[in-house]
Amino acid sequence: MKKKVEFCLVYRDMWQSSGKYVPRVDQLKEIAPVIVKMGCFSRVETNGGAFEQVNLLYGENPNKAVREWVKPFNEAGIKTMMLERALNGLRMFPVPADVRRLMFKVKKAQGVDIARSFCGLNDHRNLELSVKYAKEAGMISQAALSITYSPIHTVEYYMSVVDMLVEYGADEIGLKDMAGVGRPVMLGQLVKCIKEKYPHIIVQYHGHSGPGFSVASMLEVVKNGCDILDVAMEPLSWGKVHPDVITIQAMLKDAGYDVPEIDMNAYMEARALTQKFMDDFLGYFMDPKNKIMTSLLVGCGLPGGMMGSMMADLKGAHNGINMFLKNSGKKELSEDELLVQLFDEVSYVWPKVGNPPLVTPFSQYVKNISLMNILQMAQGKPRFSQIDKNAWDMILGRTGKLPGTLAPEIVKLAEDNNFEFYTGNPQDNYPDELPKYRKEMEELGWEFGEDDEELFEFAMHDRQYRDYKSGAAKQKFEAEFEKVKQAAAQPQAAAPAPQAPLSKTDELMKRFPNAHPVVAPVSGQLIWELSVDEPSMAKPLGTKIEEGDIVCFISAYYGQEEVKSLFSGKLCAVAAEQGAIVRKGDIIALIE
């Protein structure tokens, strides 16, 4: 009897790995019946990850989007699936336990069947509550392993995590090969071990196309007992996304497996609709490089899902880095040269900070450290001169146990900053918050929503939800959309211009050629003074600043980030005023 292999369409991740936004609810409702008609999917990954933050960013209610999007699949008997980040829930930083628990209740009530839960550090303690809360809510709990490639990440290592996940009651095990760097033979051996030890456990494989291993990996895992494969479809498949269902179905059919047939008329219709969504607005926010597979990813192991944000960060930092190089008499870098340098720096930094699997949010932390290292080295400063708060939380163990060992220079840097390492359960650091949000919603007269879904959304995505409720999110999106449309209509202006608040940077650098820049370590809103006793404006020119002094603050998504000077001198110029939106790598001020 032929082994049956099922397919899961990762429609949400297809978009997240391609660009900044996901389809609107009207678009999702339009394509859902066509996906059903294709007849080859037993599951569809509908939501989770950054899906709901993105809805909020362009002014759409994510709860309405999830309910209406999953409904056609529920009616057709196709299981719907969400992705959640264990300790970090649906965001990039830790979530209190009561908010995590409510999430599963809300998502089940909205019609989501399966919770794929992963911890970027593979710390089983972070996954225990995800398994418990998912099953308590009546969902299928799929606990996922974050797959990467290093001497540490062996079959034995992963099986030690699997043993604990099965003990907690996980129904399924997912292999989340988020960068596609898992080596096929090793992945096959891992699946074989899982199936031999736990034959009742369903195994599902998720692999990005990026470096080119994933098709071979899919064949290997199926040979060893994998039950379900995550696949994509054109025009979003391949590149930094996932293999296309047509290729995988043909490969497995030839290999003698029982695979579902594809209604090709429906495939072409879904393909055309997806292209229509791109032409509508989504394609404006996709970097063309995300459609290209590259073996450069084999070395650095960065995931497909962060390529959109990484290319935006590179563009933000590119001009600043070249400015430093030019002033030092060094050769300026093209965007491709900078990309290669970033990949090399990630490969260098990764083992130094304990080999965290490069998956959200830890891939962003390692990438951020690497990008800031490049910026500092361009200024003649040493590596690790600036590390943001979230990255320190990872290094210090506040988000879980790192798989590898920290380099001595990182340990010394922590000690020099009087930071303490944490070995307890990460969840204990983050007390319950729902009562606080209930109280505020009552005071504001906001509805808690069906099944408390609005309360959940507010508690999970505080800042984005406020902007959604005030209408600011929709205004920002419309302004951003108009800007990118204008840029697309004028090819000669296609190269990204400096952001308006920083447009005078070149002029200031010419006026003060010997000055040292103060650089934004993260993206966010610039705040010059936090104290209520001080005016919220830039420090007076001529203010004496010592190396290590706090110059200003940036309001990032997780809170306030201090911006420190790496040099001593006097403030001679301000490039970004109070309230300006700055990107990581932007020049804020000059010190001479």
Residues 357, 361, 365, 371, CA torsion sign: positive
- Residue 298 confidence class, pLDDT cut points 50, 70, 90: confident
Does 405 share its domain with 514?
no
Count of all residues that appear for the chain in the document: 592
3-state secondary structure of 551: strand
pLDDT digits (tens, 9 = 90+) for 433-482: 999 999 999 999 999 999 999 999 999 999 899 999 999 999 989 988 99
More confidently predicted of 445 and 360: 445
pLDDT (mean) for 253-275? 98
502 has a pLDDT exceeding 60: no
283 has a pLDDT exceeding 90: yes
> Residue 532's pLDDT is what?
43
Least confident of 297-301, 302-306, 407-411, 504-508: 302-306
Helices (H), 257-407: 264-280, 297-300, 307-327, 335-352, 362-378, 389-396
> Residue 436's pLDDT is what?
97
155 has a pLDDT exceeding 90: yes
Does 423 share its domain with 519?
no
Please answer whether residues 446 and 454 qualify as being in contact, where contact means their C-beta atoms are separated by less than 8 angstroms: yes
498 has a pLDDT exceeding 70: no
Does 418 share its domain with 515?
no
Q: What percent of the chain has pLDDT above 90?
A: 59
- Residue 135 confidence class, pLDDT cut points 50, 70, 90: very high
- Residue 491 confidence class, pLDDT cut points 50, 70, 90: low
537 has a pLDDT exceeding 70: no
pLDDT digits (tens, 9 = 90+) for 370-400: 888 888 888 788 899 888 888 999 999 999 9
Distance CA 199, CA 529 (A): 59
Does 424 share its domain with 510?
no
pLDDT (mean) for 404-415? 95
Does 535 share its domain with 416?
no
Q: Which helix (H) or strand (E) holds 443?
A: helix 434-444
- In-domain check, residue 582: yes
pLDDT (mean) for 350-354? 93
497 has a pLDDT exceeding 70: no
- In-domain check, residue 191: no
> Residue 306's pLDDT is what?
57
- Of 429, 460, 481, at which residue does a domain stop? 429
Q: Which helix (H) or strand (E) holds 51?
A: helix 51-57
Does 408 share its domain with 510?
no
Please answer whether residues 261 and 44 qualify as being in contact, where contact means their C-beta atoms are separated by less than 8 angstroms: no
506 has a pLDDT exceeding 90: no
Distance CA 378, CA 265 (A): 54
| Residue 408 one-letter amino acid | P
pLDDT (mean) for 109-128? 97
304 has a pLDDT exceeding 90: no
- Of 402, 429, 456, at which residue does a domain stop? 429
Domain holding 513: CATH number? 2.40.50.100
Expressed as residue numbers, the domain containing 564 is 501-591
Does 337 share its domain with 417?
yes
- Residue 294 confidence class, pLDDT cut points 50, 70, 90: confident
Does 421 share its domain with 509?
no
How many structural domains is the chain composed of? 2
More confidently predicted of 62 and 290: 62
* Paired tokens of 121: 């550090």
Does 327 share its domain with 416?
yes
| Residue 139 one-letter amino acid | M
Does 523 share its domain with 417?
no
* Paired tokens of 104: 């599963």
> Residue 496's pLDDT is what?
43
The mean pLDDT value of the chain amounts to 89
- Residue 559 confidence class, pLDDT cut points 50, 70, 90: low
Distance CA 265, CA 285 (A): 28
- In-domain check, residue 53: no
Radius of gyration in angstroms for the set of CA atoms belonging to the chain, rounded to a whole number: 24
- In-domain check, residue 493: no
pLDDT (mean) for 195-202? 98
* Paired tokens of 42: 């037993």
> Residue 511's pLDDT is what?
82
Does 414 share its domain with 505?
no
62 has a pLDDT exceeding 70: yes
- In-domain check, residue 248: no
- Residue 305 confidence class, pLDDT cut points 50, 70, 90: low
Least confident of 20-34, 366-380, 547-561: 547-561
- Of 412, 429, 446, at which residue does a domain stop? 429
Distance CA 448, CA 138 (A): 22
> Residue 251's pLDDT is what?
98
- Residue 493 confidence class, pLDDT cut points 50, 70, 90: very low
> Residue 113's pLDDT is what?
98
Distance CA 224, CA 25 (A): 39
- Residue 338 confidence class, pLDDT cut points 50, 70, 90: confident
Rounded to 5 degrees, φ, ψ at 220 are: -65, -45
- In-domain check, residue 370: yes
- In-domain check, residue 205: no
pLDDT (mean) for 234-255? 96
- In-domain check, residue 227: no
